[in-house]
């Protein structure tokens, strides 16, 4: 036997060789990963709940500083991106590659839009001196400072997830276009979709916690 064969035998023992392929298993793994994401944010939700229960009034007061219009707009943007994502997956499942790619592009653009809005929101706060570690935020009443810290931590962590999601989208876009993700092997696109919906799901909770609190 040749060295190449042995190499392929060992290196190819992943779940992507046809004989080893197990979509159900990959999907199980993906969901388990989503649980860890859920619990990661869960820790922050717990901190939010504790400090809000300790000083609800400060949370209401501080929340007035946030721009509700931008928050709601971003919710609409993200919900729509979830729609285009799911349409991209189902288009590929029906074998319509160009529609799948178009929908994926739309999702990507919407997530860019989300980040741009987020950028303006954060930089407005930053110009008012509201950012972790600034003099201004340390001068605020303790409860309000905690609210803003939570705001930056939770939307920040969420924003990181948006960026990771966009990188994943770019990768699957290239693979759908090259045909290595196709109607019969659409798992990777589906998992990126699952991840993206989770990002959306978490934002659904962030909206009332921060923007609709006052």
Question: Taking CB under 8 A as the rule, does residue 165 contact another protein?
Answer: no
Using CA atoms in the order 94, 89, 172, 169, what is the torsion angle rounded to 10 degrees?
A: 150
Q: 97, 117, 159, 205: which one contacts another protein (CB under 8 A)?
A: 205
Name which of residues 97 to 156 contact another protein (CB under 8 A).
Answer: 132-133, 138, 141-143, 145-146, 149, 152-153
Q: Is residue 35 involved in binding another protein (CB under 8 A)?
A: yes
Residue (129 or 141) nearer to another protein, CB: 141
Q: How far apart are CA 52 and CA 62, in angstroms?
A: 11
Region near another protein per CB under 8 A, out of 6-14, 104-112, 114-122, 169-177: 6-14
Q: Is the Cβ of residue 14 or residue 167 nearer to another protein in the bound state?
A: 14
Q: Of 128 and 138, which has the nearer Cβ to another protein?
A: 138
Please compute, for residue 134, the number of CA atoms within 13 A of its CA located in the half-sphere on the CB side.
15
Q: Total residues at the site for another protein (CB under 8 A)?
A: 87
Residue in 94, 97, 99, 110 with CA at minimum distance from that of residue 165? 110
Contact letters (x/-) for another protein, 44-83, by CB under 8 A? xxxx-xxx-xxx------------x---x--xx--xx-xx
Q: Give me the count of residues in the chain.
A: 214
Kindly tell me which of 26 and 105 has the beta carbon lying closer to another protein: 26
Nearest to residue 71, comparing CAs of 38, 39, 117? Answer: 117
Residues 77, 70: contact at Cβ < 8 Å?
no
The label of the residue with tokens 């993906």 reads: 30
């Amino acid at each position: 036997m040749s060295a190449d064969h042995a190499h392929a035998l060992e290196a190819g023992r992943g779940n992507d060789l046809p004989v080893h392929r197990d979509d159900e298993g990959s999907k199980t793994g993906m969901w388990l990963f989503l649980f860890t994401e859920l619990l990661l944010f869960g820790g922050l939700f717990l901190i939010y709940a504790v400090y809000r229960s300790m000083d609800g009034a400060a949370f209401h007061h501080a929340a007035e500083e946030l721009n509700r219009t931008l928050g709601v707009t971003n919710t609409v943007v993200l919900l729509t991106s979830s729609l285009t994502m799911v349409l991209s997956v189902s288009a590929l499942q029906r074998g319509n590659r160009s529609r799948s790619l178009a929908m994926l592009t739309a999702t990507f653009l919407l997530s860019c839009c989300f980040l741009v809005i987020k950028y303006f929101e954060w930089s407005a706060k930053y110009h008012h001196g509201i950012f972790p570690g600034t003099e201004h935020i340390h001068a605020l009443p303790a409860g309000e400072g905690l609210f803003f810290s939570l705001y930056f931590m939770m939307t920040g962590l969420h924003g990181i997830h948006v960026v990771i999601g966009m990188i994943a989208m770019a990768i699957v876009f290239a693979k759908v276009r090259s045909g290595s993700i196709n109607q019969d092997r659409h798992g990777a696109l589906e998992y990126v979709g699952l991840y993206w919906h989770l990002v959306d799901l978490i934002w659904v909770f962030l909206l009332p916690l921060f923007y609709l609190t006052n």
